[in-house]
Amino acid sequence: MTKIKLRPLRDQVMVITGASSGIGLSTARLAAKEGARLVLAARSEGPLRQLTAQIVDAGGQAVPVTADVSREEDVERIAQAALDTYGSLDTWVNNAGVGMYGKLEDLKVEDMRRLFDVNFWGLVYGSRVALRHLKARGGALINVGSVVSEQAIPLQGIYAASKHAVKAFTDTLRMELEHEDAPVSVTLIKPGPIDTPFPLNAQNYLDTEPQHVPPVYAPETVARAILQAAAAPTRELFVGGGGRGMAAFGMLAPGAAERAMAATVIPGTHSGKPPLPPGASALYHPSGKLAERGDYPGHVQATSAYTEAASRSRLIGVGLLGAGLAAALWRASRRD
């Protein structure tokens, strides 16, 4: 079996989709500091050009590509921009995604289809296009899933379904590439709640503005995990011990986990603030803003001890500690 060797970040050409907001924006800024040459893709042309100018002014290298990943031809243009600008491609980060809040019975079918077009099919297009180049040269394909790739969550059911599909696609692709001995590392990144504009940009069917349920982490925690996977072959990585604990709790005690999720997540997702006006979401139109952070009012954890430990040691057993924490949080919530 071929040992996969990834180039140092300073020698890489990296594509990042969804680069104008949240996790993608944080990853782009951090990768630029590490010296990677970047191809930045997003629907928001103005913010994307603003980000590119910031990176170039700081001495980095970046090229913007205005693209909607739900269109296969747009994804082809992203890859071509990498080849035209830098002549090669080393890492492709499928990060673009959209969210949706509401009970499954209330969601419009066309909205659900649109979410899958972006979250699932956009990732499929990106993966297939990237592999045409990565299989010949070697490199990393990094797909951003979610903790809800493992554990469904109420009021975000269709989003969780799309991320379950992302996990199945990514895991199957990895197995097929390993079988043919392709020199490509395939990673699934699984963040927990992250303080990005995700809730503000999501299609919202609730009667209040949605919010994250803690623990909530800074987008830089995910960016560091992505760059770790770009530099060293990594199968998968949870970002946030809380999310890892939730997934482990769901595997070990699914009935109790579902009851806990319903009791805490459903009320916790409602912020009490009036919802944004219809049409404010980024489901069909770009947000038009360059923003890493959201408006989460509570404590945002700047680091994740679990993720840092897992990045260094690949220890799966650490998740059992998270499962105990999740159970303790559930018991505490029942007392409150």
Chunked mean pLDDT (size 10), the chain, 336 residues = 91 99 99 99 98 98 99 99 98 98 98 99 99 97 97 97 99 98 98 97 98 97 98 96 84 92 96 92 96 96 81 52 49 44
Dihedrals phi, psi of 250, to nearest 5 degrees: -65, -30
Q: Left, alpha or beta for 181 (phi > 0: left; psi -120 to 50: alpha)? A: left
Listed residue (259, 160, 269) closest to 209, CA to CA: 269
Backbone Cα Rg of the chain: 19
How far is Cα 130 from Cα 296, in angstroms, rounded to an integer?
34
For the stretch 183-199, what's the b/e string if a residue is b when 16 or more beta carbons lie within 10 angstroms of its beta carbon? bbbbbbbbbbbbbbbbb
Query: What pLDDT score does 292 carry?
Result: 97
How far is Cα 46 from Cα 48, in angstroms, rounded to an integer?
5
Query: What pLDDT score does 246 carry?
Result: 82
The greatest distance separating any two alpha carbons of the chain, rounded to the nearest whole angstrom, comes to 60
Query: What pLDDT score does 312 carry?
Result: 67
CATH superfamily of 9-335: NAD(P)-binding Rossmann-like Domain (3.40.50.720)
How far is Cα 64 from Cα 172, in angstroms, rounded to an integer?
31
Residue with tokens 């996977």: 229
pTM of the shown model: 0.91
- Map out the domains of the chain as residue ranges: 9-335
| Collapsed DSSP state (helix, strand, coil) of residue 187 | strand
- The CA-CA-CA angle for residues 194, 196, 199, to 5°, reads 95
> Are residues 214 and 117 in contact, defined by beta-carbon separation less than 8 angstroms?
no
Percent of the chain with pLDDT over 70: 92
Contacts of 263 (CB under 8 A, 6+ apart): 330, 333, 334
Write the DSSP assignment of 17-36 as a string of letters: ESTTBHHHHHHHHHHHHTT-
Contacts of 250 (CB under 8 A, 6+ apart): 150, 151, 257, 258
pLDDT digits 0-9 by tens, 228-246: 999 999 999 999 888 888 8
> Are residues 142 and 184 in contact, defined by beta-carbon separation less than 8 angstroms?
no
Q: Chain centroid to CA 279: how far?
A: 23
Query: What pLDDT score does 324 carry?
Result: 52
How far is Cα 36 from Cα 32, in angstroms, rounded to an integer?
5
pLDDT digits 0-9 by tens, 71-105: 999 999 999 999 999 999 999 999 999 999 999 99
Out of 101, 125, 159, 205, the active site residue is: 159
Is 205 annotated in the active site? no
For the stretch 222-237, what's the b/e string if a residue is b when 16 or more beta carbons lie within 10 angstroms of its beta carbon? bbbbbbbbbbebbebb
